[in-house]
């Protein structure tokens, strides 16, 4: 899956992404719900206010329509001197052109409510205009006078011009063929349009700060939680490669303490087993050397040459088996320090040595450096190349690098191995018929030794028959062993 490929491989990265995405999704859903509620509430409050404002405008229009034409200017002058009225009022000969503000869903709902209220309250109203406009440069009369040209006491209690202008609701209605009343007022909430888009830059900035704080806190907490796991993984890897490691500290969460305690107990048991095994084989080597030598001396006292030769052959085979068993144990646990090794140069030297002995070895590959135990890795690769030469006549070695993986392929051109016998090739003393014919002095330990050494380096050894004939051994070295 694409998501699985995009997810980081570390537990720290995955937990951090999950926590951050969780907070981000929660914030997004909460903001959407909150914004929808704010919009609905704002629209409900604005339409209710528009209904009352439309009713007041209808009453004012009805009142001015009932006045004689000559009295209208006198009343408007008195209203201006008194101040405190809800509307700025003027009478013009016709409708004044007004530049409306950019329409939003909320402003459209308010204007529709005002128009509906006017039609309901004044069913005989011939013509009218309703619009929102900004106070800057707003015309208030048909002779070109703008809102800024008026005295402050005319509009200071009715409209907001400074310091932050509020949108003005302008209602113009025809009184008769030669007169239009001009009404300008503010909504009860002058800045109601701010609620049309609750997701403002300020709120987005606050959400980003919150997300950043959660991200930093997540990195700190997840790092604190996963650091013991990284130490446990490093200890397990080092111990699996044959190094003696100190016990993992048993501190932290209860689950990690239990895991560390189990790992330390397992490590102690395995180390005791390894130490017992080394002591056992050392004892076997020491204890068997004396009786084998004593038996060889006694066979010299036999008069029958044929019997003496048989005894010598059996004792030589027994001594060879003991040495082979010791070798299979010691070669898998070579005590060396790890260092940078040019793998291509090592293989070139092995190929050159084989060619001096009259063997055919072909090598291809670029410069590759690994961190390994030089002698142990040389012994493992040498065993594989020797097997390819002995059982396949000649060897082809290919070295390649793929990301953090080094692959070494060794192919021979022998008869291959029966499929049912592939799983037994690493068993000690297992030799197939073709192997016994090609190399009578072998003991069947080379592949097992090679695999143990490669496993100690954190890699793997894979064996298979080649589709075009012959046998292929693939060495994979992965991770920090490189």
Arithmetic mean of pLDDT, 363-367: 88
Q: β-strands 460-465, 471-478: how paired?
A: antiparallel
- Binned at pLDDT 50, 70 and 90, residue 3 comes out as low
Average pLDDT over residues 242-254: 76
Contact 58, 118 (CB under 8 A): yes
Gap between the Cα atoms of 198 and 183, Å rounded: 30
pLDDT at 177 over 70: no
pLDDT > 80? residue 12: no
Find the mean pLDDT for residues 309-321: 72
Which one is the CATH code of 337-481: 3.40.50.11540, 3.30.565.10, 3.90.1150.10, 3.30.56.10? 3.30.565.10
Q: Give the separation between CA 355 and CA 42, rounded to whole angstroms.
A: 90
DSSP letter at 479? G
Supply the pLDDT for residue 481.
43
Q: How far apart are CA 272 and CA 279, in angstroms?
A: 10
Q: CA–CA separation, 397 vs 472, rounded Å?
A: 10
Least confident piece of the model among 130-139, 177-186, 271-280, 446-455: 271-280
**Which sequence spans correspond to the domains of the chain?**
11-196, 254-331, 337-481
Which band of pLDDT confidence, cut at 50, 70 and 90, is reported for residue 117?
very high
Distances (CA, A) of 83 to 13, 15, 67, 151: 67, 65, 20, 12
The pLDDT value recorded for residue 84 is 54
Packing angle, helices 305-330 and 446-456, rounded to 10: 10
Chain segment 30-76, per-residue pLDDT in tens: 878 877 787 788 788 888 988 988 888 898 888 888 888 777 887 87
Kindly state the helix (H) or strand (E) to which residue 222 belongs, with its residue range: helix 201-240
Crossing angle of helices 374-392 and 343-356, rounded to 10°: 40
HSE-CB at 196 with a 13 A cutoff on CA atoms is 15
Q: Calculate the average pLDDT of the chain.
A: 79
Compute the distance between CA of residue 482 and CA of residue 468 in angstroms, rounded to an integer: 31
Q: How many CB atoms lie within 10 A of CB 32?
A: 11
**What does residue 22 show for φ and ψ, rounded to 5 degrees?**
-60, -45
Selection from 152, 130, 187 nearest residue 80 by Cα: 152
Distances (CA, A) of 196 to 77, 106, 397, 402, 460: 37, 6, 73, 56, 65
Give pLDDT tens digits for 408-464: 999 988 888 887 777 767 766 555 555 555 454 444 567 777 888 888 888 888 888
Mean pLDDT of the region 392-400? 88
Q: Is the pLDDT of residue 203 over 60?
A: yes
Percent of the chain scoring above 70 in pLDDT: 81
Note whether 254-331 and 337-481 share their fold.
no
Query: How buried is 27 (Cβ within 10 angstroms: 0-12 exposed, 13-18 middle, 19+ buried)?
Result: middle
Distance between CA atoms of residues 272 and 284, nearest Å: 18
The fold adopted by the segment(s) 254-331 is: Helix Hairpins (1.10.287)
Interval 154-168 mean pLDDT: 73
Give yes or no for a contact between 337 and 372, defined as CB atoms under 8 angstroms apart: no
330 has a pLDDT exceeding 70:
no
What is the total residue count of the chain? Answer: 482
């Amino acid at each position: 899956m694409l998501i699985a490929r995009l997810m980081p491989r570390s537990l720290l990265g995955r937990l951090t992404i999950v926590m951050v995405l969780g907070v981000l999704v929660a914030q997004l859903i909460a903001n959407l719900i909150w914004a929808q509620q704010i919009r609905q509430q704002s629209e409900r409050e604005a339409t209710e206010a528009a209904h009352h404002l439309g009713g007041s405008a209808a009453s004012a229009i009805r009142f001015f329509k009932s006045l004689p034409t000559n009295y209208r200017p006198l009343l408007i002058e008195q209203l201006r001197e008194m101040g405190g009225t809800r509307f700025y009022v003027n009478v013009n000969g016709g409708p004044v052109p007004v530049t409306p503000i950019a329409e939003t869903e909320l402003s459209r709902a308010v204007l529709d409510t005002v128009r509906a209220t006017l039609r309901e309250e004044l069913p005989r109203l011939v013509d009218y205009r309703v619009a929102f406009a900004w106070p800057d440069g707003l015309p208030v009369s048909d002779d070109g006078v703008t809102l800024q040209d008026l005295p402050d006491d005319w509009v200071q209690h009715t409209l907001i011009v400074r310091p932050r202008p509020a949108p003005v609701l302008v209602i113009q209605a025809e009184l008769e063929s030669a007169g239009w009343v001009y009404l300008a007022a503010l909504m009860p909430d002058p800045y109601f349009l701010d609620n049309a888009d609750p997701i403002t830059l300020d709120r987005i900035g606050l959400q980003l700060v919150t997300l950043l704080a959660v991200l930093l806190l997540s990195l700190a907490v997840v790092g604190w939680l996963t650091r013991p796991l990284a130490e446990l993984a490093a200890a397990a890897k080092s111990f699996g490669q044959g190094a003696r490691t100190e016990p993992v500290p048993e501190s932290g969460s209860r689950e990690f303490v239990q895991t560390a305690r189990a790992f330390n107990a397992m490590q102690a048991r395995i180390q005791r087993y390894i130490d017992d095994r080394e002591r056992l084989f050392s004892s076997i080597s020491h204890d068997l050397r004396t009786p084998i030598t004593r038996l060889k001396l006694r066979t010299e006292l036999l008069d029958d040459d044929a019997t003496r030769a048989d005894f010598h052959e059996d004792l030589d085979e027994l001594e060879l088996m003991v040495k082979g068993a010791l070798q299979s144990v010691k070669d898998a646990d070579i005590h060396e320090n790890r260092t940078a090794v040019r793998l291509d140069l090592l293989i070139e030297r092995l190929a050159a040595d084989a060619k001096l002995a009259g063997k055919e070895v072909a090598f291809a590959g670029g410069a590759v450096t690994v961190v390994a135990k030089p002698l142990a890795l040389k012994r493992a690769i040498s065993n594989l190349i020797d097997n390819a030469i002995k059982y396949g006549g000649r060897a082809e070695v290919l070295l390649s690098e793929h990301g953090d993986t080094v692959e070494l392929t060794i192919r021979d051109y022998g008869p291959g191995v029966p499929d049912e016998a592939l799983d037994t090739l690493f068993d000690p003393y297992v030799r197939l018929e073709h192997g016994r014919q090609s190399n009578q002095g072998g003991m069947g330990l080379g592949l097992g030794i090679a695999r143990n050494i490669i496993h100690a380096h954190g890699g793997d050894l894979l064996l298979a028959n080649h589709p075009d004939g012959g046998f292929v051994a693939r060495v994979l070295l992965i991770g920090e062993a490189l």
